[in-house]
Amino acid sequence: MMMPPHKNCFVDGKDITVSFHTHPNTGKDFQQEPSLTDIRAVSDDFDLKGEFYLGELVISEQNLYMIEPAGDYHVIGATKVILER
């Protein structure tokens, strides 16, 4: 996961509300869920603790996940259903 500089959860003076990355899903066995590295990258980043920051979206083939700033994650829903709306 590569992020631009985001000191104090701001980019160009604007609040960061969400970050995201995709899982490439190159085969059936590809991990859908956020990895431990993904979770730590969010929870251990002191510059992702802004007042309006909701968390990091992980867009995989099957599901959209949200990693919350404290490191919990949950399924938002099926990617195909949400992205076809």
Binding site for Zn ion (CB under 5 A): 38
Cα dihedral: 42, 44, 48, 52 (round 10): 80
CB of 68 to Zn ion, least distance (A): 15
Please identify the residue of the shown chain whose CB is closest to the bound Zn ion: 38
Q: Which is nearer to Zn ion, 20 or 50 (CB)?
A: 20
Q: Which is nearer to Zn ion, 15 or 72 (CB)?
A: 72
Rounded to the nearest angstrom, the gap between the alpha carbon of residue 61 and the centroid of all alpha carbons in its chain is 14
Q: Which is nearer to Zn ion, 38 or 43 (CB)?
A: 38
CB of 54 to Zn ion, least distance (A): 17
CB of 6 to Zn ion, least distance (A): 18
CA 46-56-75 angle, 5° bins:
135
Q: Where are the beta strands (DSSP E) in the chain?
A: 10-11, 14-15, 18-22, 55-59, 63-67, 73-78
